[in-house]
Amino acid sequence: MVISFFILTIANSAYPQNDSSFENIFNAVIAKKSLNLNPSATEKFKLPLFDSYELRTETDDFDFENQEYLLRINPVTPKIKKAIKGLYNHYSANQSNLETKYLQDQLEDLYDNLYRLYRIDNTLIFINQYETILSDKEKILVKKIEYGDADFDNYLNTVSDLNDLKLERFESLKMREELTAIYDIEENINWISIISIDEILINLDEVVVLNSQYEFDFEKEGIEKEIALENQESNQLIDFGQIRYQGPHSDLLEERIQIGVGLQLNTSSSRKLKIQKLKMEIDELEWENRLEKIEAEQNTKLLKDKIRNQILYYKEFESIKSQEIDKAQEVLNLIIKREDVDPLKLIKLEESKLLINKKLKSLQEDILKNYIDYLKASGKMFQSYDVNKLVSN
């Protein structure tokens, strides 16, 4: 079909092989997007041998020779120490979560900006091709005007369209400069390996992975470790140990040293309330996580259906417009056989081909944009974040 050959010709001329491929640019950008957080930079956490020390002294009527001393120690059991260290290690692990969040934000921006660059480059290609056609049309109209055989309004409209293209090129180039400056892209981008709509259709599935799942898992694990610590503290039988010393006495039989132990029973209402509150927080987190996943699944399904419908429309549009161009070419060939054809008719046919191709490109871009939104909604964008999901297999 004429239109298929025309699109293929444009594609091959648009993306020269010596330019940098967009997947190489993607890889180069990703390589720079790392925080390289070093967990060892945090001070090493050491637990004391005892939870607290308390030293008291008192005297009676300032009789310092009979001074009384009390040393009280609150112990920490090995299980409590283990629970505390587990909670500390959990807090320390938040550094990797910060890097994950940072990378996800950067990845979303990268996909969006690559898409914008793709659209701008397609626009610049169209402008160059349309400008060539309109320039030829302008020359023909000028010749016709010289012979009194042309519509002056048609000439003015053509000149106006050419000027509009120049303004559109200026605006597109400025936007491109802004985007390429973000990622230090100096060379042209070769988009020939970008994913096709048929591959997009194959990649659509029902699997949804929440990109915020790591946040949920982290918060839940933290609360569980807090509960474990509260339980270990509740189960601690010895509350404190103490030694009391009373100063020297004249009576050697009088007691001078006393040793005591304080026991505790797990009857603290406030601690039980705190544990229940923490368990309720886990229930709330799980409920929010389920709702978020349901919403993500719904959004993913809507995007999938939308993409499928867009692809069906694209293929129908391509088929109908291809037939339209083929018939127009057949009629034009008949005219050429019978008489000298008006060059404006040839220009008109080429203009129609180009505008149809522009519409097809626009439909492809819309499908690609929704596919990027699908990758976000389904969480696939963040699985193996260093793998470019827009590259053709």
Q: Is the pLDDT of residue 144 over 80?
A: yes
CA 60 to CA 63: how far, in whole Å? 6
Distances from the Cα of 18 to the Cα of 12, 160, 185, 342, angstroms: 12, 35, 15, 39
pLDDT tens-digit readout, 226-257: 888 778 777 776 776 677 777 666 555 555 67
What's the alpha-carbon Rg for the chain, to the nearest Å? 38
Tokens of 103: 């990378």
Averaged pLDDT, 48-64? 68
pLDDT at position 16, please?
42
Averaged pLDDT, 146-168? 89
Q: Is the pLDDT of residue 153 over 60?
A: yes
Distances from the Cα of 189 to the Cα of 23, 33, 200, 391, angstroms: 9, 20, 21, 13
392 domain-assigned: no
Contacts of 12 (CB under 8 A, 6+ apart): none
pLDDT at position 7, please?
38
Count of structural domains, the chain: 1
Contact 377, 307 (CB under 8 A): no
Contacts of 45 (CB under 8 A, 6+ apart): 85, 88, 92
Q: Is the pLDDT of residue 17 over 70?
A: no
345 lies in which domain range? 2-382
CA 322 to CA 293: how far, in whole Å? 43
Dihedral sign of CA atoms 274, 277, 279, 285 in order: negative
Query: pLDDT category, 2, cuts 50, 70, 90?
Result: very low
Contact 225, 278 (CB under 8 A): no
393 domain-assigned: no
Q: Any idea what DSSP says for residue 269?
A: H
80 domain-assigned: yes
**Most confident range, picked from 23-37, 88-102, 169-183:** 169-183
At residue 72, what are phi and psi to the nearest 5 degrees? Answer: -120, 135
Element (H or E) spanning 179, and its range? helix 152-182
224 domain-assigned: yes
288 domain-assigned: yes
190 domain-assigned: yes
Least confident window among 296-300, 328-332, 371-375:
328-332
Maximal C-alpha separation, the chain: 142
pLDDT at position 119, please?
95
pLDDT at position 355, please?
92
CA 77 to CA 235: how far, in whole Å? 10
Put the strands of the sheet holding 68-75 in their side by side order: 50-58, 68-75, 238-246, 257-263
What is the DSSP secondary-structure string of 281-321?
Answer: HHHHHHHHHHHHHHHHHHHHHHHHHHHHHHHHHHHHHHHHH
* CATH classification at residue 313: 1.20.1600.10
Nearest C-alpha neighbor of 204 from the set 108, 132, 302:
302
First to last CA, the chain: 26
Identity (one letter) of the amino acid at 245? Y
279 domain-assigned: yes
Tokens of 350: 């080429």
168 domain-assigned: yes
Averaged pLDDT, 259-281? 78
